[in-house]
Structures are given as C-alpha cells and as structure tokens.
Amino acid sequence: MKSISSLQAKTLMGQAIVATLIVAAGTAWNAWPAAADDGLKPDLSLNAFMRKKLDASSQILEGLTTEDAELIKQGAKTLIELSKVEKWNILSDPEYRESSLDFRSNAKKLIEAAEKDNFDNAALQWFATTKNCIECHQHVRRERAASKKK
Ligand code: HEC
C-alpha cells in the first residue's frame, strides 16, 4: 500500500470531523423529545420528517468516504427538497429563513462539487452544510427557551 499523502490525510481527518459533527448534532437533538415528556408530546410526524435529514447526511458521508458522486448528489438533493417543504418552516423569523437559505445554498455547492468529481471541495461544502445544521438547531433551541420564559 502506498503511503498516505498529506491531502488524503487531510481529507480523512475532515471526514472524521464531519462524522463526529453529525453524531453530535443528532445526539444533542435527541435529548429534546425525551425531555418533552410532560403531555406536550412531540409531533412524531415532524420528527420523522426532520430525521430524514440524518439518512440523507449518512448518504452524503458514504459518498464522500467512498468517492461516490452519485450518492453525494442524491443526499444533497434530498436535503434541498426537505428544506422546501412547508413543514420545514417551524419558525418564520429572519434568522431561521436566512439559515434555511444558507443551508440550501451550501447543499447546492455540494452538488456542484460532486458533479465535477471534486471530492476535496465536496468535503468542504459538506462542512459548511453541517455547520448550518448545528447553527440552526442552536437558534431553534434559543428561540424555544426564550418563548418559554415569556
Ligand atoms: C434552518 C434550520 C435547520 C437546519 C439547517 C437543519 N435543521 Fe434539523 N431540525 C430543525 C428543526 C426546526 C427541527 C425540529 C423541531 C422540533 O422538534 O420541533 C429539526 C430536527 C432535527 C432532528 C430531530 C428529529 C427528532 O427526532 O426530533 C434531526 C436528527 C435533525 N434535525 C438533523 C439535521 C441535520 C443532520 C441537518 C443538516 C444536514 C439539519 N437537521 C439541518 C431545523 C433545522
């Protein structure tokens, strides 16, 4: 086996970071419905809808790790489609809307990179997209906490 180039090493490291981010986003999020066991049952169909993002994300991660552009494109397209569904718009404040647009635009750049078989760029665009996952979730949690205090 030939020795690993620094670019490959960087890509591998990036992939490990993304995998960690996704797991972290998912775990942090899972804590939420568990806490809502006070009669305010979470909307299960909404959860199922939102969780589709995880399936699409693992498809993208698989595509990035195996350099399968088709998988990356499929996953990113699913993410974009989900973000256009009415259900997605839980909040209507400017930050949430901007966050959704940013997310969609990064997912589009991810598709463009995959179309060019540029996997290094695709990995970068995926970092940007997962950053949007985490930031939007933080925003939603902050808004929830703020509305509870009122
Ligand atoms: C623009 C905002 C936004 C972005 C970007 C976003 N999400 Fe979400 N996500 C939400 C909201 C809002 C909910 C659920 C709200 C609720 O529980 O009422 C949610 C819920 C979830 C859930 C939990 C479903 C459950 O079981 O309760 C998962 C998992 C999730 N998102 C994953 C992701 C992943 C992965 C990404 C990125 C690929 C992502 N999200 C990007 C807004 C966003």
pLDDT value of position 43: 73
**What are the 10-residue block averages of pLDDT along the chain, 150 residues in total?**
57 58 50 42 82 97 98 98 94 95 98 98 98 97 88
pLDDT value of position 148: 86
Ligand 1: centre distance to CA 145 (Å): 16
pLDDT tens digit string along 59-89?
999 999 999 999 999 999 999 999 999 999 9
The answer to whether 102 and 132 have CB atoms below 8 angstroms apart is yes
Within 8 A by CB and 6+ apart from 78, the residues are 52, 55, 56, 59
Atom of ligand 1 nearest to the CA of 99: 1
pLDDT value of position 35: 39
- Spell out the domains of the chain, with CATH numbers in brackets: 6-149 (1.20.120.10)
123 Cβ below 6 A of ligand 1: no
25 Cβ below 6 A of ligand 1: yes
Dihedral Cα 114, 115, 121, 127, nearest 10 deg: -40
Ligand 1: centre distance to CA 120 (Å): 26
Atom of ligand 1 nearest to the CA of 54: 35
